[in-house]
Structure 1
Amino acid sequence: MSSAPGSSVKILTVGSAAGSIRDLFAKVKAIDAKHGKFDLVLCTGDFFGPPKVGEEYGEEDEVIQLLEGKLEAPVECYIMQGEHPLPSPVIEKFAKSGGALNTNVFLLHKSGVMTTAHGLRIACLGGVYEPNMFSAAQTVHGFVSPYFTNQTVEKVISNTMTQSAPSTKPKDTSYGSLASIMSTTSTSHLLDILLTNALPAGITHLSNAPLPATDFPTNLEAEPVAELVLRTKPRYHFAVGANPSKQGHVPLYWEREPFLWDNENGRFTRFVSLGAFGGEAAPSSGKKQRWFYAFSISPLSPNDPAPPRPTNATGNPLAQRGVHRGIKRPIDDEGENFRWGNVKQGAKKAKAGGPEGKPPEGYKCKICESTEHFITDCPDRAKPNEGYVCKICNEPGHFVRDCPTKHQVGDTGGRKPREGYVCRACGSELHYIQDCPSASAQPRGPRARPKEIAPDECWFCLSNPRLAKHLIVAIGTECYVTLPKGQIIPTHTKDNFPQGKIPSVPGGGHVLIVPITHYPTYASIPSDLSGPIVGETKTVPFYQYEVNADSPCMFSYKSALHAFYGKHGAHPVSFEVGRLSAKGGHAHIQVIPVPSSVSAETIANAFTSEGTRLGVEFEVEEADAGREDVTGDRGYFRVELPDGRKLVHWLKDGVPFSIQFGRQVLVGLLGMPERFDWKECTQSDEDDRADAQAFKDAFKPFDPSL
């Protein structure tokens, strides 16, 4: 039976079940019988384990048995997303039920906040932290992605201002009304319990508690989680700290001393990292990791006295970190409630500052300098200053908001673009790319040759004066070859990677093959124009030519690179991210040399295993399939292996895909994970020029353009 509101609540928190659902429920039942009764169970980390890829769940799978109610939890359980994407049947059930997976098991949203029937406020930030994905993603990642993003963290902050609870009932039709919003609005960001998969950066600072491993939690700290803790000041924070190993991440138990919050009526936070249920022993002690934590907690009210200070309390390890990226709305600018009442406002909102609505003393309208009215009431507000030119029609005399051409339509019915705009999908000047039939999911009609876009917009167009032309190593009739900025292969810093599998190709060898004419992807090139471009790019099967400098391959750049790499004990892996988006892009294929000792099968397994972990599914094309181009109107990621086989992943609408996926796999395969971020691998122009020259000199006998 649940505790009454305001009374003490008894909670059991458990570590990652990793798919052992039946065994976990049995253990929870035994603990509850011996130490209970517990009001609820919080399941941290990976409840389901890695999802199946390319294979369906059967009736015998515990996931299906849970969803069908054949596996019953002995106590009300709340689960979260850990380091893996969630199984597709779970996501489908979540979408239909709003969180209830069965009678007693509820899935918390990746950025979820709920208020229990006892009055406790519990928040969850699911997923893992990857800096590039965190800062680059423009949308909140769902359960099919293992990552959380900047927007995910912001959503948690926003959701802390609402009060909600999981429900098995249909959605309330009054949701979104003024009355329902006001009735579910909280007055504080403060939380009772926070669940995260990642650990907050700096959590071990000021602590004397023995660590379970020497490098705990160095490789798993997340600055955004520290920022979230700073904003919400949870009374309990549970996470899944792990020790990197050859077998993956082994969750480790570590309980920190409580740490204090200044000016919060004696508030303090208890932080606990839990080991996995049935997990491995700790590397330092050899003992099984503690995987559960039981405690009692009572909801707090503003009038409650300050709690007694724990005798082992420390200073706050996060207090000096400050709030950095990812949280845009400063909490200090809010009053009691960010939606209703007591909201502190800046001077621009203080229209009622003077008598009868007049400006306060000293105020001057910025348009006419009058002291009698606000700028919003200025009679001259409709007149632009002398010299102002409308950015839409390039005419003076009116603001953009009043432009007579503002609502003109283009040739496809959408808004007409501004002067100089060129659709990157078809080259038209008469519609935006989001209104382009060629970039939609509809069948494509005939298209004209794409026109050149503004030269200062595309980093791959040769007409761009800011293009790094000193990196170009070959120019053909339809394509050119260039070294990238921050290539994967280290050239001047090889000694920094003693364990790396570094090929000995002069200049590094990591290159891009880029069509000279601007197209978003290879698949978007019109069929009547694609022949020469694809022909100059594609690979002739490796068994059709000899790897011999005296008899160079003259078929295409890919084939020439295959022969060139072969002379230096390497073979190529190439990939393309074919993404059609409103931002456009310039088609290019990346080609990276890998030591010949690393087989094509090993490379294929690296891509498929990492894909399995991230929910990226591949289709396989054999070397003699006769397809060089990917057809269709959807986005894709395509890898070509040294033996000619190709792996294709079709991008799905609304499902995020990292454009750095190919690089992520290869730096891991080559034993140089530090080379993941290309920005961290950039070097001086002098070193770049030296690499380009070394590559050109060595590639000259193989260059099909010479």
Structure 2
Amino acid sequence: MAAPRILLCGDAVGRLNQLFKRVSSVNKSAGPFDVLLCVGQFFPEAPDQLGELMDYVEGRSQIPLPTYFIGDYGVGAVKVLSAVSKDPANQGFKMDGLRVCENLYWLKGSGKFTLHGLTVAYLSGTHSMGSQQIGTYSQDDVDALRALAEDPGPVDLFLTNEWPSGVTNRAATTDLPQGISDSAGSSSTVSEIVAEIKPRYHIAGTKGVFYAREPYANIEAVHVTRFFGLAPVGNKNKQKFIHAISPTPASTMSASELRVTPPNTTSSPYTFVGKTAQTERTEKRPSSDASDSQYWRYDVSQKRQKHGGDGDDSKLCFKFLSSGSCVQGEKCHFHHDEDAREHYLRGACFDFLNKGKCERGPDCNFKHNLQEEGRSIPRRPGSGSANSNRSRECWFCLSSPSVETHLITSIGEHYYCALAKGPLVEDHVLIIPVEHTPSTLASPPESEKELIKFQSSLKMYFKNQRKEAVFFEWVFNRGTHANLQLVLLMSMTVQSNQAMKVVPIPSSKASVLQDIFTLAAQKLGFKFLVMKNDNGSEGRKLLQMQFDRKCSLFYVELPGDKILYHPVEENEKFPAQFGREVMAGLLNKADRADWRNCKPSKEEEEKMAEAFKTRFQEYDPIH
């Protein structure tokens, strides 16, 4: 596969006609290019320049290439981007760009995502010491980026608006562009974080000049880093504002290829900066050993409204909440809270969970409460561990006051059916144990018989609609309530609590379902195990016999006679939305891959449930 071809641009400052005319010309003469990445101020400097930008935002002018920007400040930025943030399609935990208009995406705050095989990290806006506003990043964004960058594998591209302070240190070039040493447009914060994440390419704007530094070696990394500072579009000194690169993704390179060092490579310009940053972080909290002093953790001891406890263990570990694991393990000074992680995965704001408040206010895309549609947060560890307490607080237990009864469509002795919250497609169903049970695979034989009846009835119901039913379950080994989703060959929804999920898909797509899941597994670095499921129950019996209850498990029952399953190891990073994302791609419903983007009102849910009950009545095994 050919390496992606990337165009880099400095401050656009609203001069989009000139920018995209140049992009079209370069694309025609030297392309095709895959994407344009813009750093520095993207919005205009004066109100009379706003009309040019709005022509693109409102669709009167066309953008020739998928374009991502981080310079979210300037005239019109607040108005345009506030509307972008409120767009339902942009809600949820989105790090791969909020869509502004066709071919234009805003990289907000900080994040990390994959683009044409390249791992891209970014820090948008300029640094803010106070409450976060559009056009600024906070210490929270910096800390979150550090946590995300701890994942294995190099970051290919790192985008910042500000230059890193000290980038010219140890540079071999003596003829530096005028103004490059000025402090304006430089940031020690960017220096610290770039020294930590060690990207292969670092691109920045705001200085008003073009500067391509010699590659420099990184401490504790085999690869070198290349820095590019880009000038503004249409600058008077005719400094270069467009630059092309074609980097091979690190994920496809061998160790020897990553180690290649160009002849003009220098020492790292940030050696002293890294030591200073490490010293400052060490002084902020106690350290158990030398390596621990280099390990970042989210410290908000002066700001958080305590949920209980006086030490660091009452502060939440961002790495654990975001990925489900922490390489520090028991050495981590911060709290690994399973309940908080579940709420984080359901859309709760990390700042709110960690501090009791969020400085972003209405601009934050995440929930600022621990209840949703009548569902309450499970108790923190130590506040009650009996099954009666679990049942009372669980979203799914029928005995719980938190269960959303208006979504329930059928109730048996051991299982009940309910429509999914945030359905991917119409008739997206959950099959849920009546009692608090961590997995349908842990159900006794009499319960299993009723489950099979529900599955058979749903298959018949969807078959009559020329659809196929796909069942899957994410068995998360944390004692949560099982919920088996029915994916009617249309898509699946994986929520943090277990249940069998059922989502309908057109019968015409059934033949490619296994291939799609296999490909998705390959991209995550694992291979599904395959099991025969001849009569609908034998496969589940074999799965129950092989299932080790000490580990987590994802499995999907395909139409026909196969079950795909994958035991998830304790430290393995497995996406909570894996099943739903695979099905959303199959059904060309990428905008509905996150269930939080698909939440109808309670009135709409009641109508959907009543309509399903009417259609399903003749198939319902309970009647």
Q: Above 0.5 in TM-score?
A: no
TM-score between the two structures when normalised by the length of structure 1: 0.38
Higher Cα Rg: structure 1 or 2? 1
**Higher share in helix:** 2
